[in-house]
Amino acid sequence: MGKKDILDANGGFQRVLTFEDLDVWKVCRALRVAVADLVDTLPREEKYRLADQLLRASRSVTANLAEGYGRFHYAENVQFARQARGSLYELIDHLSVAYDEKFISSETFQGKQEEALRAVTVVNGFIRYLTKAKANLAINE
């Protein structure tokens, strides 16, 4: 895929060569790494249960953003960004399970929930950007 100019989180434009250049992907990647670190603190018996669910949800976010970037049409990219947003909410639910089962503290839960909700905000901004870009493309055709 070629170069793209994408609106960044600060309202300016950034040159994008790959999905890894997207601010939205970077924010979600940092969350994925934080979740992987958190999973290491869970009890061993949760390795193939809650830990696996947490990892899958966090990995799904960045994977969907990457796949959407690779799609040709804005509408497809938006759909994958929406899937990423859904995985973020799934992640929050899994974090609440970890808290309810007393695997993580209230502070840890609140901190990770805030990180996930910040990622939701950034994904929502990306969806708005893609939707406007699609509308502008239609107007200019």
Q: How far apart are CA 21 and CA 23, in angstroms?
A: 6
pTM of the predicted protein model: 0.86
Fill in the amino acid letter for 116.
A
CA distances (Å), 136 to each of 33, 87, 93, 105, 117, in order?
A: 35, 28, 36, 46, 29
pLDDT of residue 17: 83
Residues 68-122: pLDDT tens digits? 999 878 999 999 999 999 999 999 999 999 999 999 999 999 999 999 999 999 9
Mean pLDDT of the chain: 90
Angle at 89 between CA 84 and CA 90, to 5 degrees: 90
| Superfamily name with CATH number, domain 4-140 | 23S rRNA-intervening sequence (1.20.1440.60)
Where does the pLDDT of residue 9 fall: very low under 50, low under 70, confident under 90, or very high at 90 and above?
low
Residue range 24-83, pLDDT digits in tens: 999 999 999 999 999 999 999 999 999 999 999 999 999 999 999 998 789 999 999 999
